[in-house]
Amino acid sequence: MEDEKVQWSSHISFILATVGSAVGLGNIWRFPYIMGKNGGAVFLITYLLLIAFICVIPLCCELFIGKKYKTDTIQSIKNINPKFKWVGWLCILTVILIPCFYFVVGGWILNYIWLFLSHHIPANFTQYFGAYSSQIYMPVILTLLFLIMTAIFPYRGVNDGIEKANNIMMPLFAIILIILAIFALTLPGAKEGLLFMFKPNFSHFDKTMILTALGQALFTLSIGMGTILTYGSYMKEKTNIAKSAYQLIFFDTLIALLAGIMIFPIVFSFGVEPTAGASLVFISLPEMFSKLPFSSFFGLVFFVLLFFASITSGISMMETGILSFIKNFNISRKKATIILTTIIGLISIPSTLSFGVLKDFTLFNKTFFDLLDYSTSNILLPFNTLLICLLSGWCIKSLWKELLGENIFGYIFNILLKFVVPVILICVLVTGI
Ligand code: PHE
């Protein structure tokens, strides 16, 4: 089979690809927003503890399983225990549903890039965004365009497509982010923005906040849907899993923080509410950019940044589904890409229209778009992660030994994996539902 011996060509390529997957809208669109909404620094501290001690466990498990079995999510889980093959399918279902709302945002990003590129900057972004996202044709066309742009890279293969895309886009992404963050720090609201971000406010510390932090940490690390497993399956034999996991966590968190450092000073300089939600990125920020000197330039650069972040994540979602289609239906990479793109394209249409004609079609008070977001982020991700942890801990007996050796770290890892993390995930699930 064509994908049998595929490997990343270097450790850097592997890290860039996994960071590319992890760093996405979650870091820029979601992290500053929910951090603002959940009490700033208290949220941040909770988040850091959760990601460093809890989420690292399933992260290592996915990398381990990928490296050990060198195949897609479904076959890997079947290799662990054939009775649980359905867990693999559940991961693939999740990774098919996530792009169906994620790529809608990708389409909005494309539209904004066009706005700033063509200097068609609206006078009122609140009105503009509401009117634009509720249209029928343009948002759907751009969602599908984003989908196709994302699909091109896995279509071309792991080394020729995915690796090249990440090797070019991720360094560019980092440069743009650093420049924007430095610029933001020169604004008058910088101090207030940083205070908001780093000053603890314990009144927000509750169950919901912990649940949100954990959900965000899982989402941002792309855990619980086989994506890390898939990228891990292309890992070289000598790659150290625990070290790679912490490298990934380090870069992902650093970038989420830089995104906050870029966004909050701007927000406070213009006196808007830091809790503005998704509209922060598509209404408040562009409005502020349009008031800065070289407005088109800053707007354009910001949305190009978002584009790189979202497309490299999108590529990893697509690749997870594609590799599973290749291995389970015995089809070529190209055919698998076309089938997956078609499925995601079809489900994305009603999701895109949730902001317009389908706005009133709600279930549990949620539009189709919100339902996809909620069911994947709050239910499927923690559920899949729980199952992956249980399978790793109880069915691969030697996992902790192979990963860390028979030492104190190994023992702690084993206890966290078998008992602590599953209990926490169950609490998260129960609270979430
Ligand atoms: N981690 C990505 C983000 O933070 C989202 C993602 C989810 C990517 C699932 C791949 C798979 O935006």
Does ligand 1 have an atom closer than 6 angstroms to the CB of 150?
A: no
pLDDT of residue 378: 83
CB 121 within 8 A of CB 296: yes
By most ligand atoms within 8 Å of CB, the mutation choice from 100, 254, 316 for ligand 1 is 316
pLDDT of residue 315: 98
By most ligand atoms within 8 Å of CB, the mutation choice from 103, 219, 281, 378 for ligand 1 is 219
pLDDT of residue 95: 97
Q: In order of start, what are the domains of the chain with their CATH numbers?
A: 11-432 (1.20.1740)
CB 32 within 8 A of CB 260: yes
- Is the full-model pTM beyond 0.85? yes
By most ligand atoms within 8 Å of CB, the mutation choice from 21, 30, 315 for ligand 1 is 21
Ligand 1 center to 150 CA (angstroms): 13
| CA distances (Å), origin 358, targets 106, 134, 135, 144, 342 | 19, 9, 11, 18, 21
Does ligand 1 have an atom closer than 6 angstroms to the CB of 248?
A: no
pLDDT of residue 277: 59
Separation between Cα atoms, residue 254 and residue 266, nearest integer Å:
19
Which single residue is written with the structure tokens 């490298």?
A: 247
Does ligand 1 have an atom closer than 6 angstroms to the CB of 94?
A: no
Separation between Cα atoms, residue 73 and residue 58, nearest integer Å:
14
Does ligand 1 have an atom closer than 6 angstroms to the CB of 25?
A: yes
Q: pLDDT per position in the chain (433 positions), as tens? A: 454 579 999 999 999 999 999 999 989 888 877 887 787 888 989 999 999 999 999 999 999 999 999 999 999 999 999 999 999 999 999 999 999 999 999 999 999 999 999 988 898 999 999 999 999 999 999 999 999 999 999 999 999 999 999 999 999 999 999 999 999 999 999 999 888 887 777 888 888 888 888 888 988 999 999 999 999 999 999 999 999 999 999 999 999 999 999 988 988 888 887 765 567 889 988 988 888 878 788 899 999 999 999 999 999 999 999 999 999 999 999 999 999 999 999 999 999 999 999 999 999 999 999 999 989 988 899 999 999 999 999 999 889 988 998 999 999 999 999 999 999 999 888 877 7
Does ligand 1 have an atom closer than 6 angstroms to the CB of 259?
A: no
Minimum-distance ligand 1 atom for the alpha carbon of 29: 12
pLDDT of residue 47: 93
Ligand 1 center to 409 CA (angstroms): 28
Ligand 1 center to 78 CA (angstroms): 24
Separation between Cα atoms, residue 57 and residue 271, nearest integer Å:
40
Ligand 1 center to 335 CA (angstroms): 24
Does ligand 1 have an atom closer than 6 angstroms to the CB of 385?
A: no
